[in-house]
């Protein structure tokens, strides 16, 4: 049996599969985009952290290179904190206001 026959791709992630019609709103587009934005941001964070760590390890005591690595690491961590807070603030506001669309996304 082929693996493509064993996996039902249509129902794999049903909430991500957009069903756009003429009555699609900007909120529907944002719902679909958010399901991709946070994982992509996490992957980018990992790449930046690994690159900054590599740059730090290979700086060889060069103050300019070490400062650049520290700055890149600081920016990566600050970006993570911003993304983390944006996620939790959105969830919190959605729960407090009882917005079902926000609760369905997360």
Q: What is the pLDDT of residues 43-68, one digit of tens each?
A: 999 999 999 999 999 988 899 999 99
Count the alpha carbons within 13 Å of 2 in the hemisphere toward its beta carbon: 3
Domain ranges of the chain: 25-105
What whole-number distance in Å separates Cα of residue 39 and Cα of residue 45?
10
Question: pTM for the complete prediction?
Answer: 0.63
The torsion of the CA quartet 23, 29, 35, 41, rounded to 10 degrees, works out to 180
Residue among 88, 105, 99 nearest 36 (CA): 105
Contact 45, 76 (CB under 8 A): yes
What whole-number distance in Å separates Cα of residue 25 and Cα of residue 33?
13
Count the alpha carbons within 13 Å of 56 in the hemisphere toward its beta carbon: 12
pLDDT number for residue 90: 81
pLDDT number for residue 96: 83
pLDDT number for residue 83: 86
Tokens of 76: 């990566």
* Model confidence pLDDT, tens digit, residues 67-80: 999 999 999 999 98
């Amino acid at each position: 049996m082929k693996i493509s026959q064993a996996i039902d791709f249509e129902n794999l992630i049903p909430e991500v599969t957009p069903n756009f019609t003429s009555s699609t709103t900007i909120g529907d587009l944002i719902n679909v985009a958010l399901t991709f934005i946070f994982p992509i941001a996490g992957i980018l964070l990992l790449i930046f952290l690994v690159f900054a760590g590599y740059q730090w390890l290979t700086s060889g005591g060069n103050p300019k290179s070490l400062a650049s690595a520290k700055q890149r690491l600081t920016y990566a961590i600050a970006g993570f904190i911003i993304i983390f807070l944006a996620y939790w603030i959105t969830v919190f506001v959605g729960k407090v206001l009882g917005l079902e669309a926000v609760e369905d996304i997360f």
